[in-house]
Structure 1
Amino acid sequence: MSWRPAGHDSGTGVPDPDPAPALSAALDRLRLSGAIFLRGEYTEGWAYSSIPAKDAAALLAPGSERVVLFHVVAEGRCWIKVEGSEPLWADSGDVIVLPYGDTHQMGGTSQAAMVPVGTLIQSPPWAEMPVIRHGEGGAPTQLVCGYLDSDDPLFDPRLKALPPVFVVSPPSGAARLFVRASIDYAVQQTSQVDVDRFTVPTHVPELLLREVLKLHLASAPAAERGWLGALHDPVTAPAVACMHAQPDRKWTVAELATAANVSVSVLDERFRTVLGLPPIRYLAGWRMHVARDLLESTALGIAVVARRVGYDSEEAFSRAFKRAHGQAPSRWRRGVAAQSATR
């Protein structure tokens, strides 16, 4: 699977630069702290609802308003959803990320009653990492859960730089081996030695999240030109937030400039300086990034995906997607499914 970004202002015949080095450098500057804090051993059928986001932050990182949550599927298959979203499916080796720590629901492949997760786990303080065992005795699913605390704008829900939940399937090779090795090590090493929070080894979830974000963001428009920096910029950040919040809206540069409280010319100049492309070109690239996520991790029809990213016509969307990714959306989805089946 290609991880190259879409929607760049590259010259004809000039390949897009690889975004990985620039993204790695930018992500390395993120200030993160956290730990692996929970293991889940579930058997079909099972389903649970999480505790409220604020309660999770208070439990895992006292004093923080929110935390980043992630679940690694060590075995089996499961779905996850936040309010107002479609269920996303994840398989063994995939990483589920909730960048704003949203309240969510999870479950397996069989129908099951929804159970509050608080009823499945002993109340803290914990002497060691808690393990949830729940289900009706069918096929197993094992999850390893972690959290991270960061005040970076990347994790500010007002900017909507990321979807409230997304699934990353590391491609076969070094990235996938790294995810598995990181989790195996963390499960063996992590314990709670203080009464109010988990401790070492914090570097494992930090490295894991950076790798997962690099894979997810590599298809973001202008990723190699300072995409993360745009979230810190006072001119580009408000406009980017608008486009991320409503990729289906028929945005004009004038509307985006109003949101940023600057003139059209200033907005255009700033986008070209920070991101290397004009605002509407960024919007087109972002729509393709969102579309790819929807095609990879939901069962939504092509026409529905097209409407979610601002296309009234399935045909127009298919042409745009093929220009961006080299394949029609239906073929892209079949390729993703085939890769998952061979893992």
Structure 2
Amino acid sequence: MDALSDVLRATRLKGGVFLHAEFSDPWCLSSQVSPENCARFLDSASDIIPYHYVLEGRLRVKTKDEPVVVLGPGQVVLLPRNDLHILGGDLSLAPVSGDDVVVPSTDGGLSTIRLGGDGERTRIICGFLGAENLDCNPIVSSLPSVLELAVGQGSGAEWIRSTFAYAADEIAAGRGFGNHSG
């Protein structure tokens, strides 16, 4: 077994999707995900790596120390240090705190955010990877604070796209996650 595999196995990452957001320009939001935000989907984790997957539209993401990243449909951004970050169509606007506009699910499904004006629409799915003591993990520590993933490339690209598309369809149909009968 190689050293990288040993480190990844020891990390014991858990993850999930916890939020569906619909924005329309102009909008700007600040966010920092806490383990409590993901508690329904996560037994325990001291550290969270949030991610945002763009279903539709354009998403701009900025942290204090990194340049703006612009994402389109099918792209993912991870925030390995879980820094406070700004999301928006127009990052020059004063950001609204995500905590102030999130609507928790009443049925165990995904929380939602709807924010913005009458302009171009952006839809995203927000999720997380969680583990204990990620700050001590040499791989995670070496990552930049904002990491854009090229989901459209590689052998798992279609699986990733179809998984998020399925999640979006379930949400749009009002079935969400956690309230299936059967």
Band the TM-score falls in, shorter-chain normalisation: 0.7 to 0.9
Give the equivalent residue in structure 1 for 2:147. Answer: 166
Which segments of structure 1 move beyond 4 Å, counting only runs of 4 or more? 22-28, 123-126
Alignment of 1:96-135 (within 5 A): 96-109=77-90, 111-122=92-103, 127-135=108-116
Identical amino acids, percent of aligned pairs: 26
What RMSD, in angstroms, separates the aligned Cα atoms of the two structures? 3.1
Give the equivalent residue in structure 2 for 1:309. Answer: none
Structure with bigger strand share is 2
Give the equivalent residue in structure 2 for 1:68. Answer: 49
Q: In the superposition, relative to structure 1, how do residues 81 and 26 fare at CA in structure 2: closer, same or farther (>3 Å)?
A: farther
Find the aligned partners of 1:27 and 1:157 in 2 and give their Cα distance: 11
Q: In the superposition, relative to structure 1, how do residues 139 and 124 fare at CA in structure 2: closer, same or farther (>3 Å)?
A: closer
Q: In the superposition, relative to structure 1, how do residues 131 and 48 fare at CA in structure 2: closer, same or farther (>3 Å)?
A: same
- 1:223-265: CA deviation from partner (whole Å, max 9, x where unpaired): xxxxxxxxxxxxxxxxxxxxxxxxxxxxxxxxxxxxxxxxxxx
Contact 1:43–1:136, Cα closer than 8 Å, also in 2: yes
Where does the alignment leave 5 or more consecutive residues of structure 2 unmatched? none
Letter of the 2:46 partner, please give it. Answer: E
- 1:30-69: CA deviation from partner (whole Å, max 9, x where unpaired): 5222211101111111110114x5xx11231475322111
DSSP 3-state at the match of 1:67: strand
Alignment of 1:168-317 (within 5 A): 168-172=149-153, 174-187=155-168, 188=170, 191-192=177-178
Structure with bigger helix share is 1
Which TM-score applies when normalising by structure 2? 0.75
Q: In the superposition, relative to structure 1, how do residues 167 and 26 fare at CA in structure 2: closer, same or farther (>3 Å)?
A: farther
- 1:195-216: CA deviation from partner (whole Å, max 9, x where unpaired): xxxxxxxxxxxxxxxxxxxxxx
Contact 1:71–1:144, Cα closer than 8 Å, also in 2: yes
Q: Say which structure, 1 or 2, has more relative contact order (CA 8 Å, 6+ apart).
A: 2
Query: Out of 23, 35, 42, which is 1:57 matched to?
Result: 35
Give the equivalent residue in structure 2 for 1:308. Answer: none
Find the aligned partners of 2:61 and 2:178 in 1 and give their Cα distance: 27
**Structure label with greater radius of gyration:** 1
Where does the alignment leave 5 or more consecutive residues of structure 1 unmatched? 1-21, 194-343
Contact 1:94–1:169, Cα closer than 8 Å, also in 2: yes
Q: In the superposition, relative to structure 1, how do residues 179 and 158 fare at CA in structure 2: closer, same or farther (>3 Å)?
A: closer
